[in-house]
């Protein structure tokens, strides 16, 4: 364990330095009882349930927390969340408990609004509706009104990665698999087209 901690300390300036060039960091969190296994590239870190996302929030940049809606019933053209989806949406409250969310954005569908609602209630905010097919106005509004803050954006399997690509100025993020609902992206945006992405997993794992 001592060697592991030493290794992490040695790499921490690389991982969290504000001076480095923007890059994509992939991190996977798997919950095992009260432990999380967190992997940054080839570095394995073990942290307890006290792990929070606040370590990724910088007041020198604007943070977009981007995710797809939770599981749905699949019934009708505008399905509601299933029981599993409701559990996952509730898990967001715990995950974001200590994160200073300034605004919550959702597309105008039952599944996205219902995914956002537990966080909205916990933070005493309101859901702000945005157009997931035209996300540039959302980006511009957040960068001007929430500068140095953090926002939650709930979208879809195709629109969440599209937002990541707009924020990073790249085409690095493909559409999410339809079967996956546990992806959560922390995007540190210095300016539109220049950002860092941390890819997390939350709640019950999906294939």
pLDDT, tens digit (0-9, with 9 covering 90-100), for 90-109: 999 988 988 999 999 999 99
Which range among 12-21, 25-34, 46-55 has the greatest average pLDDT? Answer: 46-55
Distance CA 146, CA 149 (A): 5
| The overall pTM is greater than 0.85 | no
Q: How many beta carbons lie within 10 A of that of residue 140, not counting itself?
A: 11
Q: Which residues pair with 189 in a beta bridge?
A: 62, 195
Domains of the chain, start order: 56-201 (3.40.50.1240)
3-state per-residue secondary structure call for the chain: CHHHHHHHHHHHHHHHCCCCCCCEEEEEEEEECCEEEEEECCEEEEEECCCCHHHHCCCCCEEEEEEECCCECCCCCCCCECHHHHHHHHHHHHHCCCCCEEEEEECCCHHHHHHHHHHHHHHCCCEEECCCCCCHHHHHHHHHHCCCCEEEEEECCCHHHHHHHHHHCCCCCCCCCCCCCCEEEEEEEEECCEEEEEEEECCCCCC
Q: What is the pLDDT of residues 39-91, one digit of tens each?
A: 333 222 323 344 567 888 888 999 999 999 999 999 999 999 999 999 999 99
- Phi, psi at 60, each rounded to 5°: -95, 0
Mean pLDDT computed over 135-159: 97
Query: Higher model confidence: residue 76 or residue 32?
Result: 76
pLDDT at 51: 59
Tens digit of each residue's pLDDT (9 = 90 or more) over 163-176: 999 999 999 999 99
**Lowest mean per-residue pLDDT among 36-50, 102-116, 181-195:** 36-50
Name every residue whose Cβ is closer than 8 Å to that of residue 206 and which is 6 or more positions away in sequence. 179, 180, 181, 182
């Amino acid at each position: 364990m001592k060697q592991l901690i030493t290794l992490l300390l040695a790499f921490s300036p690389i991982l969290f330095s504000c001076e480095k060039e923007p890059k994509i960091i992939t991190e996977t969190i798997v919950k095992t009882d009260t432990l999380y296994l967190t992997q940054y590239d080839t570095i394995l870190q073990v942290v307890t349930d006290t792990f929070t996302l606040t370590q990724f929030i910088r007041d020198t940049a604007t943070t977009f927390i981007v995710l797809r809606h939770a599981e749905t019933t699949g019934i009708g053209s505008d399905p509601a969340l299933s029981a599993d989806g409701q559990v996952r949406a509730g898990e967001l409250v715990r995950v974001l408990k200590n994160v200073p969310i300034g605004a919550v954005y959702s597309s105008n569908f039952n599944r996205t609004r219902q995914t956002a609602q537990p966080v909205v209630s916990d933070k005493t905010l309101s859901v702000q509706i945005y157009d997931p097919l035209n996300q540039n106005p959302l980006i511009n509004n957040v960068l001007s009104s929430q500068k140095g803050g953090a926002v939650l954006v709930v979208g879809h399997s195709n629109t969440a990665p599209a937002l990541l690509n707009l924020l990073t100025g790249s085409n690095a993020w493909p559409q999410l698999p339809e079967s996956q609902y546990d992806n959560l992206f922390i995007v540190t945006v210095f300016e539109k087209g220049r950002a860092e992405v941390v890819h997390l997993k939350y709640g019950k794992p999906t294939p």
